[in-house]
């Protein structure tokens, strides 16, 4: 049986994700981002007694929450979904019937000032999903040169003012007062960025970029998608929920590439490579869900199915 959580958290596209993922209730499924367990608990409710769910999360607080689940069908791994294959191999699992990836930062991470994800609270500029390892955002800004900072903010934040923001950050560091808190970073960006879309804080794109960089989120996503091809059994489902264009573009491109016959350019007369996925759906939250949870408005869920292995 599962233990009810003691906090409030709205899981995005909950029913839609579970419905798309579980086609064989007695199979093995993977929740690559446990978060606070909304999808995991719903998946366990859908699985048969013979089913199994393995969840992953980098966040020690999420792992602690997962350990509250008292169900012999459930296993939690303190690891990134970039480590799916070795972690599952350690459990003796070679193939699964479904893989769910709910990307991005979770509401509890954003809402906890101490984690340093949000410009709405003044706190140490951390931004690590796994607080037990890795470089914080403040540490990155304290050592990176102007070019590297600008590249991160431009590529991961799609910020057109990346260069002047980077110049301001390095100038402040050179003056002996490096940015180390969320409030300091937000104020600096606000002074540099004079125009922004209505309703968007000037620091939004910079905070997104630093978070993605610190956690190597896009590299982890690409690794997990590639691993999915080897892990999914024929007929197994891949379900990915993304929250910004960079993530969704990677998922969309991957599914499109693996869902079409592709000739080998090195051997133009050879038969084309058999498709390995079949694209099934693109789902957006409905008006009711967005009204209840505004953070859902940017979500996109893509669903694909593993084809028969040649």
**Domain 14-107+217-306, what fold?**
Rossmann fold (3.40.50)
Report yes or no: 141 and 147 within 8 Å, Cβ to Cβ.
no
pLDDT at 7: 37
d(CA 8, CA 13): 16
d(CA 162, CA 152): 8
pLDDT tens column, 130-161: 999 999 999 999 999 999 999 999 999 999 99
Interacting residues of 101 by C-beta distance below 8 A, sequence separation 6+: 32, 33, 81, 221, 224, 239, 240, 241
pLDDT tens column, 185-203: 999 999 999 877 777 889 9
pLDDT at 174: 97
pLDDT tens column, 162-174: 999 999 999 999 9
> What percentage of the chain carries pLDDT values higher than 70?
92
Average pLDDT of the residues of the chain? 91
pTM for the whole thing? Answer: 0.90
pLDDT at 202: 93
Question: Which residue in the block uniquely carries the two structure tokens 């951390």?
Answer: 126
pLDDT at 309: 64
**Domain 131-214, what fold?**
DNA polymerase; domain 1 (1.10.150)
Query: For the chain, what are the domain ranges?
Result: 14-107+217-306, 131-214
pLDDT tens column, 59-96: 999 999 999 999 999 999 999 999 999 999 999 999 99
pLDDT tens column, 264-310: 566 566 566 678 999 999 999 999 999 998 889 999 999 999 998 64
């Amino acid at each position: 049986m599962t233990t009810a959580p003691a906090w409030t958290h709205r899981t995005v596209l909950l029913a839609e994700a579970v419905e798309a993922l579980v086609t064989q209730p007695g199979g093995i499924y993977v929740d690559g981002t446990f978060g606070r367990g909304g999808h995991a608990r719903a998946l366990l409710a859908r699985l048969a007694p013979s089913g199994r769910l393995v969840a992953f999360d980098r966040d020690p607080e999420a792992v602690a929450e997962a350990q509250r689940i008292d169900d012999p069908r459930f296993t939690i791994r303190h690891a990134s979904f970039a480590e799916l294959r070795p972690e599952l191999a350690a459990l003796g699992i070679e193939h699964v019937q479904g893989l769910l990836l709910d990307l991005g930062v979770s509401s509890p991470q954003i809402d906890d000032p101490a984690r340093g994800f949000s410009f709405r609270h003044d706190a140490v500029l951390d931004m690590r999903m796994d607080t037990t390892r890795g470089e914080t955002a403040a540490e990155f800004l304290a050592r990176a040169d102007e070019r590297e900072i600008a590249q991160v903010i431009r590529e991961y934040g799609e910020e057109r003012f990346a260069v002047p923001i980077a110049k301001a950050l390095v100038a402040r560091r050179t003056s002996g007062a490096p940015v180390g808190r969320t409030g300091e970073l937000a104020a600096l960006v606000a002074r540099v960025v004079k125009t922004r879309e209505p309703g968007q804080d000037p620091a939004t794109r910079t905070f997104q970029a630093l978070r993605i960089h610190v956690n190597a989120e896009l590299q982890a996503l690409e690794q997990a998608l590639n691993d999915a091809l080897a892990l999914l059994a024929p007929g197994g489902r891949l379900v990915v929920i993304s929250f910004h264009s960079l993530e969704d573009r990677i998922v969309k491109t991957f599914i499109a590439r693996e869902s079409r016959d592709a000739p080998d350019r090195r051997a133009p007369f050879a038969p084309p490579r058999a498709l390995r996925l079949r694209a099934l759906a693109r789902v957006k939250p409905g008006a009711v869900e967005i009204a209840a949870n505004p953070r859902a408005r940017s979500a996109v869920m893509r669903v694909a199915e593993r084809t028969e292995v040649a």
